[in-house]
Chain A
């Protein structure tokens, strides 16, 4: 650097530049292309137009799918946080064979989305499925249930599988957070006569605030983009009950070849995602 006569205070740019260029090429360029595509008229043409956006917002199916996505993300993220926190609290205690249980709890997260989707689709099969058999044997149901064909159950069934598949990540983050809380806080609380709930509400939860925000922000982003699980389990059916934005974009782009319209949906999804996740990113950066 001395040879290039670069001042120390400017040296950081040298280290950041390669990564930035790579990011711009890999992420920025396709994003820019998508935005450009979204304002092209469908089927070709030279003038720019917002017609794709107009079609999209006037389409009742798109509105239904947007609603499905919101419901899917809220229920998935909430259930991930609840179960993840519960399991993290258990695994943070001194229990028998703790490392083994930690490993078991992490296993669903290791399974790829598509594999999980195919396995659960078979398990939910109303004729051969193991899930129905198991529930009948333990007496929870009396007849075979159509988990993925019943409009009232289809989305909940997919969310259930997504809960199984996604809670270990939240658990892992929160477990790391729990382990960083000094034990003296609890000891002091106990001396002051605090109940277990008070210890949890006044010490554990506030200490986990930052970790919860990170888990929440990352999980929201991932759940909005969740594709493989839904595509392999239901393909958005029955009807459009389990169709979400990611499967809809795939369908519009690759099955219907509506590149311009699919790009418009992708842009809307990205904007919605940024609106939800930016406050969390801002909050974390403020605390830093």
Chain B
């Protein structure tokens, strides 16, 4: 009897212990690691921090730990951490880096979550092009984020000072050159600066030159370089001669990155740049005295044979190593919701990959920058989505730098890049 009573007490105590432990676990907050290069950049950091605070308020059992990363180092950080079985639960990527991440298994398949939310109906609000870019072997491995086209961002006051009408921006690349010659007054000012550094932003700015002349980087099957076509050669020469022959670009253009170019525009050293929705807020934060939102204006990019521009698309990736996939999906859904995408635009002027935001929100339709950016989305084109792309772009940027610095003629530099890119593509993967 004594043993029986003792056993009951033991069972009772164990039951109590298990019960309290379960209660404790239920009360324990799940911490999600959230990483984005915008967290390291004003003015985006505050908007993101506020959004995450709102998410935590609505999901009291989830805490979000913010992890800033520099734009340039994000791939490095995520690669190293994910390969080591760790890394942020959710991270933000340039969509053009996705093929390498997909290829290495560094992005979780989101299809099961999407199916639970309603599958195709859930994805309906997004542009089909954006959804397609998130697919790997038919499954969705990321969610689309910012979606913008590249446009001309120019200083209307400098236009007036040079005797140009700010309401009549150039329509063709020939006019673009004429405008630049009028705007250039060295050493005080140059017409345009285009980044020539080995920077991920290079392809966004250069590609419209190449495509609108009728050229392309690769053949349609992505198997060979297409840089040996007369159109590609013409586009490349035109681009290089803006600096070497016409001298409408400031010195040192081969080392300039996107921020260097924006700094020059902010300080009136150049009259325009190829940018997008992020340009005015960043330029305003560099030099508030310029009054960027009033002085700057946006216009579609000039063209040669066809109207075309580069598409900027970002993506949200769930780490395959996440220990909290349900909560991470909650966060993904929240960031890509209509409410948050609109909030992102209102605060930071960045248009969305959601049609119900970019095509319908009056805030976008009435904005002088966003309306131009949204109007150019139908002319948008993306660079090839293949794992070898960063290496191909490096070979191409090397050629641009060699031509800018006159180490090689534009023809020779492009021919060398063509050969090297064919070598990269021929390599067995």
Task: Report Cα–Cα, A174/B198, bound state, in Å.
Answer: 40
Select which of A61, A238, A257 is within 8 A of B79 by beta carbon: A257
Q: Are A146 and B407 in touch, CB under 8 angstroms?
A: no
Q: Are B100 and A43 in touch, CB under 8 angstroms?
A: no
Task: Report Cα–Cα, A61/B253, bound state, in Å.
Answer: 23
Select which of A149, A235, A250, A255 is within 8 A of B404 by beta carbon: A149
Which residue, of A61, A238, A255, has the highest number of chain B Cβ atoms within 10 A? Answer: A238
Instruction: Please report the total number of B residues contacting A with Cβ < 8 Å.
Output: 34
Task: Report Cα–Cα, A256/B103, bound state, in Å.
Answer: 12
Is B250 part of the contact surface with A, judged by Cβ < 8 Å?
Answer: yes
Q: Which residues B374-429 have CB closer than 8 A to chain A?
A: 387-388, 390-391, 394, 397-398, 401-402, 404-405, 407, 420, 427-429
Chain B residues lying within 8 Å of A256, measured Cβ to Cβ, are 388, 390-391, 394
Known: A149-B255, A151-B407, A237-B401. A254 touches B79 (CB 8 A): yes
Q: Are A257 and B387 in touch, CB under 8 angstroms?
A: yes
Which residue, of A42, A148, A149, has the highest number of chain B Cβ atoms within 10 A? Answer: A149
Instruction: Please report the total number of A residues contacting B with Cβ < 8 Å.
Output: 30
Task: Report Cα–Cα, A144/B187, bound state, in Å.
Answer: 10
Is B27 part of the contact surface with A, judged by Cβ < 8 Å?
Answer: no
- Give B106's nearest chain A residue, CB to CB: A257
Task: Report Cα–Cα, A107/B53, bound state, in Å.
Answer: 42
Task: Report Cα–Cα, A237/B257, bound state, in Å.
Answer: 12
Is B210 part of the contact surface with A, judged by Cβ < 8 Å?
Answer: no
Chain A residues lying within 8 Å of B100, measured Cβ to Cβ, are 257
Chain A residues lying within 8 Å of B428, measured Cβ to Cβ, are 41-43
Task: Report Cα–Cα, A38/B104, bound state, in Å.
Answer: 17
A109 CB, nearest partner CB in chain B, Å: 25
Is B15 part of the contact surface with A, judged by Cβ < 8 Å?
Answer: no
Which residue, of A237, A250, A258, has the highest number of chain B Cβ atoms within 10 A? Answer: A237
Known: A42-B429, A237-B197, A257-B79. A127 touches B251 (CB 8 A): yes
Q: Which residues B219-254 have CB closer than 8 A to chain A?
A: 250-254
Q: Are A235 and B398 in touch, CB under 8 angstroms?
A: no
Q: Are A236 and B405 in touch, CB under 8 angstroms?
A: no
Select which of A146, A238, A251 is within 8 A of B402 by beta carbon: A238
Q: Are B254 and A127 in touch, CB under 8 angstroms?
A: no
Q: Are A239 and B197 in touch, CB under 8 angstroms?
A: no
- Give A43's nearest chain B residue, CB to CB: B429
Is B269 part of the contact surface with A, judged by Cβ < 8 Å?
Answer: yes
Is A240 part of the contact surface with B, judged by Cβ < 8 Å?
Answer: yes
Select which of A125, A127, A150, A254 is within 8 A of B75 by beta carbon: A254
Chain A residues lying within 8 Å of B429, measured Cβ to Cβ, are 42-43
B269 CB, nearest partner CB in chain A, Å: 6
Q: Are A237 and B198 in touch, CB under 8 angstroms?
A: yes
Q: Which residues A204-236 have CB closer than 8 A to chain B?
A: 234-236
Q: Are A257 and B198 in touch, CB under 8 angstroms?
A: no
Q: Are B398 and A126 in touch, CB under 8 angstroms?
A: no
Q: Are A239 and B398 in touch, CB under 8 angstroms?
A: yes
Is B366 part of the contact surface with A, judged by Cβ < 8 Å?
Answer: no
Contact with B along A234-263 (1 / 0, CB 8 A): 111111110000000011001111100000
Is B76 part of the contact surface with A, judged by Cβ < 8 Å?
Answer: yes
Task: Report Cα–Cα, A241/B197, bound state, in Å.
Answer: 13
Task: Report Cα–Cα, A256/B255, bound state, in Å.
Answer: 21
Q: Are A237 and B390 in touch, CB under 8 angstroms?
A: no
Chain B residues lying within 8 Å of A150, measured Cβ to Cβ, are 405
Q: Are B104 and A151 in touch, CB under 8 angstroms?
A: no
Q: Which residues A57-102 have CB closer than 8 A to chain B?
A: 61
Chain A residues lying within 8 Å of B187, measured Cβ to Cβ, are 127, 144
Q: Are B398 and A127 in touch, CB under 8 angstroms?
A: no
Task: Report Cα–Cα, A250/B250, bound state, in Å.
Answer: 30
Chain A residues lying within 8 Å of B388, measured Cβ to Cβ, are 256
- Give A147's nearest chain B residue, CB to CB: B252
Q: Are B402 and A255 in touch, CB under 8 angstroms?
A: no
Select which of A149, A240, A251 is within 8 A of B253 by beta carbon: A149
Task: Report Cα–Cα, A238/B408, bound state, in Å.
Answer: 11
Q: Are A126 and B75 in touch, CB under 8 angstroms?
A: no
Chain B residues lying within 8 Å of A121, measured Cβ to Cβ, are 255
Known: A144-B187, A257-B104. A126 touches B251 (CB 8 A): yes
Is B264 part of the contact surface with A, judged by Cβ < 8 Å?
Answer: yes
- Give B267's nearest chain A residue, CB to CB: A128
A37 CB, nearest partner CB in chain B, Å: 12
Chain A residues lying within 8 Å of B253, measured Cβ to Cβ, are 149
Known: A254-B75, A255-B390. A239 touches B251 (CB 8 A): no
A139 CB, nearest partner CB in chain B, Å: 18
Q: Are B427 and A255 in touch, CB under 8 angstroms?
A: no
Known: A254-B76, A255-B394. A235 touches B198 (CB 8 A): yes
Q: Which residues B148-189 have CB closer than 8 A to chain A?
A: 187
Chain A residues lying within 8 Å of B250, measured Cβ to Cβ, are 126-127
Task: Report Cα–Cα, A34/B371, bound state, in Å.
Answer: 51
Q: Are B390 and A125 in touch, CB under 8 angstroms?
A: no
Task: Report Cα–Cα, A94/B256, bound state, in Å.
Answer: 47
Task: Report Cα–Cα, A149/B405, bound state, in Å.
Answer: 7
Task: Report Cα–Cα, A148/B394, bound state, in Å.
Answer: 18
Q: Are B405 and A151 in touch, CB under 8 angstroms?
A: yes
B222 CB, nearest partner CB in chain A, Å: 16
Contact with A along B189-205 (1 / 0, CB 8 A): 00000000110000000
Chain B residues lying within 8 Å of A235, measured Cβ to Cβ, are 197-198
Task: Report Cα–Cα, A203/B174, bound state, in Å.
Answer: 72
B203 CB, nearest partner CB in chain A, Å: 13
Select which of B79, B104, B264, B401 is within 8 A of A239 by beta carbon: B401
B295 CB, nearest partner CB in chain A, Å: 20
Chain A residues lying within 8 Å of B252, measured Cβ to Cβ, are 125-127, 146, 148-149
A34 CB, nearest partner CB in chain B, Å: 14
- Give A243's nearest chain B residue, CB to CB: B398
Sample of 18 further A-B pairs with CB below 8 A, known A237-B401, A238-B404, A257-B79? A55-B427, A61-B420, A126-B252, A127-B187, A127-B252, A127-B269, A149-B252, A234-B255, A237-B197, A237-B198, A237-B397, A238-B405, A240-B398, A254-B75, A254-B80, A255-B75, A255-B391, A256-B390
A-B residue pairs in contact (CB < 8 Å), sample of 14 = A126-B251, A127-B187, A127-B251, A148-B252, A149-B251, A151-B405, A234-B255, A238-B402, A238-B404, A238-B405, A239-B407, A254-B75, A255-B76, A256-B388
Which residues of A are in contact with B by a Cβ distance under 8 Å? 41-43, 55, 61, 121, 125-127, 144, 146, 148-151, 234-241, 250-251, 254-258
